Structure 1
């Protein structure tokens, strides 16, 4: 029997809605579902025919276990949506001869320096950039590029370690933050920092499907970020009627960018700045969007990212025709200062409320940048018929979240940065 191999389930509240759709499509197609995951399964059990436990964050272990599955079963497709796992998963898809981002595509997406090189070579509007692990070289590059600059790890996600330096005075501290974060990544792109010019303008993200190199935009999210110099993502809003979805310059830029990176098949999450010079692609991630953006897209447009992903990894051209016309948004709750959480209570009823959830257990320490990232204690998701109403509902519902916490002491002087649990599959 043919098998669909899934690498990494992700957290329940972030990814179960995707797994539900994929499970339904796999059953209809007569495919077995096999999950390669790093922790003992809980909620995943009802969706998968087999779950293989292994340290998927070790590329060699992941590859060895995936090959064992391929030796005994006919792998008809492979999918992965967890950022730290995407590179090896993409390489395995190419090895198994099933649809995927392709070797050029997965490396072009995962390596932010290569992204800049390829998009610049393709003639797309890009900021000046340089990659180094040496602070003296980095400072010289920043002076050459011109302030303000953004300093970030070469291959992390979720804006971890991304810092703006407005001038030379701020630069050394910004570089140290990005360098410390980059060293957490033990992969082939770890311990490197990119310095690039700041692209001034509002930030959006676009989730799109790619079928045999054809780029098919699905929905667009307007991003809300925290206070500079960091770029913590506070919320997103998806409007099915957003006029940017019909903007020929934006869609054309994204299509050219995907061709330049060599993306073959999959779903991508592109982050773009709308600058006075036009849209500037900041990065293209070789996976569905995080932060429940695919759920917002489904609520707003009716496009089910799980179904689309199933289609592209099994070699089918997906139907991305919208079936709804609404607005949906998410707002994350963050503390005002570092704290230890005692309890989080979220509303169960509110105008337009779709879902809400705590994101931490009692006793969790939340630290804001640069001591920590993704310091989220909760989220709320609301929908409405128009953008202003959705934003109002998000604000009102977020205000209903109750957090009992006490101040956290400063981190130990020799404490090292650790990857936030919310970015990894730690749903024990």
Structure 2
């Protein structure tokens, strides 16, 4: 008699404990309720992950053929009923494996639309959605010709990176030369097919927001909106986000129509997406659609503000179930990240244990960590504070008060020389030793 292999959900990359443990915890609870095993392929040896996963295999997840071979070996021991991935550098191979194992996923066209910014721009423009002018530049001379045609200012970015890495604004030809070099060099740490050159775009001016939403069998539904604060111009470092469960944008017909249409055009079938939008004078403009949960603890803000459990919603869409994303509370939650004023070596960080509305506060670096600001580095954060309140202004006041209580002992250092190879920030990778 043939024994059926146990049902399991495959997870590719756990992510950092600080950023993703609350997601993993919810997924593990759902899996145990259903009697399904949770199987992890991770880049480094497990520590905190052991509490949540039934089987953990350590391999180089950034070697895609090796990752695929490891997943296939596990598929010989388990019957996979779902596959999850929330690490930006891994969403492409994860979607390909979901298709191979015939479990719900973004779809191959969907993941290409999410990961490849040029493909996304091309397809959204062809569908008639408002988009800035754009073109790929292989070298600085081509970038100058494109920018002259588009008109300044322009945005210069790598074709396939996350967290605004290598993205900057160029107001004229002199700034363009610098911006192109920054984007080109940053691209060299990204997906191999998209390395080199840069994407040149017209600047869509207006406030920037992000929307985390679910997609079930091609049907898109928003969960929550985050209003973004950026800093360190001409770069776009994300220094904070605020989620308001009562945000009127959740009922904005024009925004919802753009979101639904964009997901249909890109061919996204099943998953959770994090869509970034500029609210321009001409209406909402999609900046990019990411095939994963939002970073920067935005899903946790959404959970605190709305009551939606993002890990549970992810479990549903990954296993072919329609998620319930009904709000069960109406609050405002925000996060503020602490950045140094200069490149530095951080000796110690102390965060508040108590403050009005404080939900969570944490250092983000170990002692003697070197933090580098753009363009020498990205996501140079030493700490964060999360606060909640009944309204946006009260939340902003509480965030400012809590952030003022953070104490940092650091020594300034010189920026790296131009041309230094960029090191991928730890916050984007599965590195949690």
TM-score, normalization by structure 1:
0.99
What is aligned with 1:380?
A: 385
Alpha-carbon separation, structure 2, partners of 1:299 and 1:410: 38
Per the alignment, in what secondary structure is the counterpart of residue 211 of structure 2?
strand
The answer to whether the 8 A contact 2:99-2:105 is kept is yes
Deviation at 1:348, TM superposition (A): 0.6
Q: Does 1:88 align with 2:93?
A: yes
Alpha-carbon separation, structure 2, partners of 1:297 and 1:56: 29
Per the alignment, in what secondary structure is the counterpart of residue 241 of structure 1?
coil
Per the alignment, in what secondary structure is the counterpart of residue 320 of structure 1?
coil
Deviations 1:195-226 (A, max 9, x none): 00000000000000000000010000000000
Q: 5+ unaligned residues in a row in structure 2: which ranges?
A: 1-5
Deviation at 1:61, TM superposition (A): 1.3
The answer to whether the 8 A contact 2:160-2:191 is kept is no
Q: Does 1:22 align with 2:27?
A: yes
1:20-419 superposed matches below 5 A: 20-412=25-417, 415-419=420-424
Per the alignment, in what secondary structure is the counterpart of residue 362 of structure 1?
coil
Alpha-carbon separation, structure 1, partners of 2:83 and 2:192: 21
Deviation at 1:409, TM superposition (A): 2.5
What is aligned with 2:3?
A: none
4, 22, 30: which is aligned to 2:9?
4
RMSD over equivalenced CA pairs, Å: 0.9
Deviations 1:41-70 (A, max 9, x none): 111000000100000011111111111111
Alpha-carbon separation, structure 1, partners of 2:44 and 2:201: 37
Per the alignment, in what secondary structure is the counterpart of residue 62 of structure 2?
coil
Q: 5+ unaligned residues in a row in structure 1: which ranges?
A: none
TM-score, normalization by structure 2:
0.98
Stretch of structure 1 that moved more, 118-127 or 133-142? 133-142
Deviation at 1:194, TM superposition (A): 0.4
Deviation at 1:167, TM superposition (A): 1.2
Deviation at 1:191, TM superposition (A): 2.1
The answer to whether the 8 A contact 2:372-2:415 is kept is no
Alpha-carbon separation, structure 1, partners of 2:116 and 2:339: 29
The answer to whether the 8 A contact 2:215-2:273 is kept is yes
Alpha-carbon separation, structure 2, partners of 1:414 and 1:117: 31
Deviations 1:52-106 (A, max 9, x none): 0000011111111111111221000000000000000011101110000001101
Per the alignment, in what secondary structure is the counterpart of residue 303 of structure 1?
coil
Deviation at 1:138, TM superposition (A): 1.1
The answer to whether the 8 A contact 1:37-1:53 is kept is yes
The answer to whether the 8 A contact 1:185-1:191 is kept is no
Deviations 1:352-399 (A, max 9, x none): 001111000111111111111100000001001110000000000001
Alpha-carbon separation, structure 2, partners of 1:412 and 1:285: 32
Alpha-carbon separation, structure 1, partners of 2:397 and 2:192: 42
Alpha-carbon separation, structure 2, partners of 1:198 and 1:411: 29
Alpha-carbon separation, structure 2, partners of 1:412 and 1:226: 22
Deviation at 1:425, TM superposition (A): 1.1
